[in-house]
Structure 1
Amino acid sequence: MNILRVLFNYRGFILGNVKREFQIKYQNSLLGAAWNVINPLAMIIVYTVIFSQIMRAKLPGVDNSFAYSIYLCSGILTWGLFSEIVGRAQNVFLENANLLKKINFPRICLPATVLCNALLNFSIIFGLFLLFLIVTGLFPGLKFFALIPVLFVLVLFALGLGITVGILNVFFRDIGQLFGIILQFWFWFTPIVYPLDILPPQIQTLLAINPMVGVIHACQTILVYSQWPDWSSLLPALVLGVLLVMFGMRLFRNHAGEIVDEI
């Protein structure tokens, strides 16, 4: 509760950072925030062109022509939120070294800024995806709101992992480099481009240890099949998220004073 009180008291500082980062990111850019849409859209188009003919027949129970594109969008956009939170959080203290040395403020405001920026970027691209679902008549109806707890679990897991890796990266710089590679492999070991059902049972069992499988599959179940997700599949990410947040915050409390010295 103390952390929530601190974040509330410094909400102006956090929102100011979000606005500043957003403006700097698109400064001198003709297309501005449109790049938030162009980058994931380009990835979706590439994967659709390469895999659509192969995967279209692999999506059981779906007969509309947009099925695989929606499958890709639901997976890639959700993964994009996760990877942005974790990827930015792992370097957040290093990237803001000058700010940390010049201004006295609660350090926890920096991960909060990362989270707000990621949610803002996600809202822009996901809002357009939602508009596409409505226009094409493929909006999943009431089941769409099941995304709220699913995304909450994703954010909790990503934030806990990001804070933990971010603090460790201050003291052991190789961790940041290594985790960037792990994140790339993690993408392909998550059923985003391909359905889990097409894999051999042994591989499916192996991928079951990946906590993001349940989260991504839940989003795909809601948006592609218009069905309620299997809530139990979210438990690994939820439990890990809670543990990582607790561990990350303990690391933060124990080493907050040392972070400035190390950077």
Structure 2
Amino acid sequence: MPVAIKALWNYRGFILGSVKREFQAKYTNSMLGVSWAIIQPLAMILVYTVIFSQVMRAKLPGVESVFGYSVYLCAGIITWGYFAEVVGRAQNIFIENATLLKKLSFPRLCLPVTLVLSASLNFLIIFSLFLVFLLVTGQFPGLAFIALFPVLAIQLLFAIGLGVSLGVLNVFFRDIGQLFGVVLQFWFWLTPIVYPANILPAQLQPFMQLNPMASVIGAYQQILVHGQFPDWLSLWPTAVLSICLCLWGLKLFKKHSGELVDEL
């Protein structure tokens, strides 16, 4: 592991340059350029706020604020989007960069690191706008906000471990990428993002505990909607699973890294 970290540090210029090029490429030949990085998430937040708080007058049980459901929805969708981007792109990271892998010699781990940094930059922009919205509407969660960082770390570890594992397996079994795209769609609706978990029938409640993202999204919503620290005990299974997935993903990558180029 220290050797891998040293190798990544030596190629930090390559990694940061790749992140910069990827970010700029998204807005090439666009009149508004990088302004779209702000306009798109801002539009999403405004739509959710206007539609659910003003038009539909949607409210969460136990939450008096008119913006309660809007915050609940944004908290879940923004953080899920970060998870889905990391995992969704990671499963194809080696296939999409086949030409680069064949032509250049560099640490293969640079690719997942570049992906994570790029996705994190997008998430930072969107979440910063959401944070401004919370401040303007008086919905800032207060001291509980600091709990976001360990929850975010657990989610990121889970996404990296799952994404790298799928990325390696997808090189050898291409059906995995197609299958997981379908799984991700079902996974979204099986996670309490657009609906509160307590509206589910009592017999289905235990099954929700088997969903590792349910506890993570629930923690975000507990912090941002209710201004309370999450139930840390509910996050332990996901935290342990995240660490195991990262270790397994790295082991899988190390074992098959020499074969990746041959299979691409």
TM-score, reference length from structure 2: 0.93
Cα drift, residue 53 of structure 1: 7.7
The one-letter code of the counterpart of 2:183 is I
1:110 matched to 2:108? The reply is: no
Instruction: Tell me how far 1:35 sits from its aligned partner.
Output: 3.9
Separation of aligned partners in 2, 1:136 and 1:30: 31
**Structure 1: distance between partners of 2:121 and 2:167:** 21
Provide the residue aligned with 2:263 in structure 1: 262
After superposition, the CA RMSD in angstroms is: 2.0
Aligned match of 1:240: 241
Q: Report the equivalent of 1:208.
A: 209
Task: Spell out, residue by residue over 1:170-202, the C-alpha distance to the aligned partner (whole angstroms, 9 max, x if none).
Answer: 111110010011001100000000000111111
Deviation at 1:206, TM superposition (A): 1.3
Counterparts of 1:68 and 1:117 in 2: how far apart (Å)? 29
Q: CA deviation at 1:11?
A: 1.2
Q: Do the aligned residues in 1 keep the contact of 2:53 with 2:70 (CA within 8 Å)?
A: no
Q: 1:202 to 1:48 in 2, by over 3 A?
A: farther
The total of aligned residue pairs comes to 262
**What is the SS of the residue equivalent to 1:139?**
coil
What's the offset of the Cα at 1:33?
A: 3.4
Aligned ranges for residues 1-263 of structure 1 at < 5 Å?
Answer: 1-37=2-38, 39=40, 45=47, 49=51, 56-57=58-59, 59-263=60-264
Alpha-carbon separation, structure 1, partners of 2:189 and 2:128:
25
Structure 1, residues 48-92: CA drift from partner, whole Å, max 9, x if none?
7379887934x2321111100000110000001100000110111
Per-residue CA distance 1:226-263 (angstroms, 9 max, x = gap): 00000112112211111111111111111101101111
Q: For the Cα contact (< 8 Å) 1:26–1:32, is it kept in 2?
A: yes
Letter in 2 for 1:102: K
The alpha-carbon deviation at position 34 of structure 1 amounts to 4.2
Q: Unaligned stretches of 5+ in structure 1?
A: none
Structure 1 residues 135 and 206: alpha-carbon distance in aligned structure 2, compared to 1, 3 A threshold: same
